[in-house]
Chains A and B, each alone.
Chain A
């Protein structure tokens, strides 16, 4: 791997080229596999790595990162707008706070545009959003691509008849629910959440939709925490993220 070191007034970066990323057969790609920015908030750590992919296929199934060219300024702006809060909700967790992204009208607009550009015209009729931050990103995407928005909720929130799927937490289990009849067999869906950590919630959402015959084209998140290897829980379903946070 090649390593390039650059410095900026605020933060020092280390750029490196990583192994290439396999492609989903369901999505049209622009030339080249897209690079991405791995960023931690400059307030708390000072490393930034830019990954880009070479042409040949690789064994590892890394997540697909956004941007079709190394210079795309939108990703850097989006990453920079995300605030990291240490020790929230409990000690040791570096919380990725997207509320600051929502305060930056350009960054929020760009976030939605990046997802819409990827999913429009792909015959996707369902955007499923995971409660609660998936409710913020899902509907603008659904409206722009002409799909329905399906909220996937914690237990007992949805008023009608539901189907539910259990998943594991660090301690115990939780459930995710969807209304019966919200989706039909054969529909093509994407699942949206703000962040993928362990992948437990997204994996449960995938299982729930698959149980009713829906094809999940991709899971899409603003942020990935790659050390938690959430992607491995998603099975055959591809994952697309804008920002990877170390």
Chain B
């Protein structure tokens, strides 16, 4: 579900967030309109809005674990985790996490990859939130859900700053888990570049 459908209609913060995201056409390959959240991170007000909206949503959901997908999930996950008193668990590319890990392969919008989680990071039945900057095909998040569940957690929701419109009402579940998205992809403004 999108924030605007779920209590935040008319919330001016959503436009501030959307306007702060830059579109880079044809990255990493032709035809992809890349949603660049680094410009949002340069705007402390917009960045704080993102965190505030997520924290307001999750602080009373008894979530004890926030998992963030490498690498942009590492930017949004920890501030949320700190604010709601949850631990932060990085979901990483292969070979990065030391100690005992489990891994899951997945297809990307552009390629395929593998994600890993440290087995000791998760307690059985913990309530978990998964964060990434953007959801497109849902492949990365689906792999993340698999990893958290295999490690014993209960995934409460997946959350992203940007999501393609197919995840609006009616299509808003990934592997049976709700998906919460703040904004749709920004449009490319030729004049802005």
Contacts and interface: CB of A to CB of B under 8 A. Distances in A.
25 contacts: A85-B98, A89-B98, A103-B89, A104-B87, A108-B81, A108-B87, A132-B70, A132-B71, A132-B96, A135-B75, A136-B78, A136-B88, A137-B78, A140-B79, A142-B41, A143-B51, A147-B44, A148-B42, A148-B44, A149-B42, A151-B41, A158-B38, A159-B27, A160-B38, A179-B38
Interface residues of B, number: 39
A148 B97 contact: no
Interface in A48-102: 83, 85, 88-89, 95, 97, 99, 102
Interface string A149-179: 1110100111110000000000000000001
A232 interface: no
Contact of A105 (B24, B27, B71, B86): B86
Contacts of B82: 105, 108-109, 112, 140
Interface of B: 22, 24, 27-28, 34, 36, 38, 41-44, 47-48, 51, 70-72, 74-79, 81-82, 85-90, 92, 95-99, 118, 121
Contacts of A226: none
A149 B47 contact: yes
Given A109-B82, A135-B75, A136-B90, A103 B121 contact: yes
Contacts of A156: 28
A109 B27 CA distance: 36
A64 B71 CA distance: 29
Given A142-B44, A143-B48, A143-B79, A97 B38 contact: no
Nearest to B65: A103
A172 B8 CA distance: 51
A138 to B, nearest CB: 8
Contact of A99 (B27, B81, B97): B97
B114 to A, nearest CB: 16
A131 B44 CA distance: 20
A146 B74 CA distance: 19
Contacts of A133: 74
B41 A102 contact: no
Contacts of A105: 81-82, 85-87
B38 to A, nearest CB: 6
B41 A99 contact: no
A146 B44 contact: yes
A230 interface: no
Contacts of B27: 159
A182 interface: yes
A142 B34 CA distance: 24
B74 A132 contact: yes
